Amino acid sequence: MKIQILGMGCASCKALYKNTEKAIKKSGLKGIEIEKVEELDEIMKYGVTSTPSFVINREVITSGKLLKVPQIIEIINQRVIK
């Protein structure tokens, strides 16, 4: 599983990245890669109009939201179960 945080370095983007790191650690799941995407050209490829955006395996899950750690864990678990 690959998680990408789309955003150009705003406080919310940085916070979402940190929350995602915490969620991955708390979930105990292995094999989850996390990546920051800060280049505007790359962000635009996803068609998002606001950041931060939370992406799993190239699918935009949320845009313009700062997810909390429990929310991220729930989203990850839903994807693992599928």
- Distance CA(80)–CA(82), nearest Å, equals 6
What is the span of the domain harbouring residue 14? 2-81
Identified catalytic residue from 2, 9, 10, 35 = 10
- Partnered with residue 35 across adjacent β-strands are 4
Domain count across the chain: 1
Domain with 48 in it: what CATH number? 3.40.30.10
Identified catalytic residue from 5, 6, 13, 23 = 13
- 10 catalytic? Reply is yes
- 21 catalytic? Reply is no
Residue 81 confidence (pLDDT): 63
Residue range 5-62, pLDDT digits in tens: 999 989 999 999 999 999 999 988 888 999 999 999 999 999 999 999 999 999 999 9
Residue 80 confidence (pLDDT): 75
pTM above 0.85, yes or no: yes
Neighbours of 56 (CB within 10 A): 16
